[in-house]
Amino acid sequence: MKSTLNKDIAHKTHADLAKMVADKREALRLFRFGTAGAKAKNVKEGKSIRKDIARILTAMNAQKTA
């Protein structure tokens, strides 16, 4: 998943990346509340969502400085 996400975010605009971050943060919020209600099947999902958010934010900062 990492390589496809990196290829996907390399050609996005800043606004598209901001929307992706908002979507990922919403998914992380839903995952956390789902875990509290014991609905989560894949407990590693939260870690991957946090890493995806970090990758997107890194790409946004790289575009800002370039």
CATH number where 61 lies: 1.10.287.310
- What distance in Å separates the CA atoms of residue 5 and residue 57, rounded to the nearest whole number? 12
* pLDDT, position 61: 93
* pLDDT, position 11: 86
* pLDDT, position 19: 96
Mean pLDDT by 10 residues, the chain (66 residues): 73 93 95 74 88 95 87
* The two three-digit tokens of residue 3, written as one number: 């390589």
What is the dihedral angle through the alpha carbons of 35, 40, 44, 48, rounded to the nearest 10 degrees?
-80
Burial of 50 (0-12, 13-18, 19+ CB in 10 A): middle
* pLDDT, position 66: 76
Range of the domain at 24: 2-65
- For the chain, the domain total comes to 1
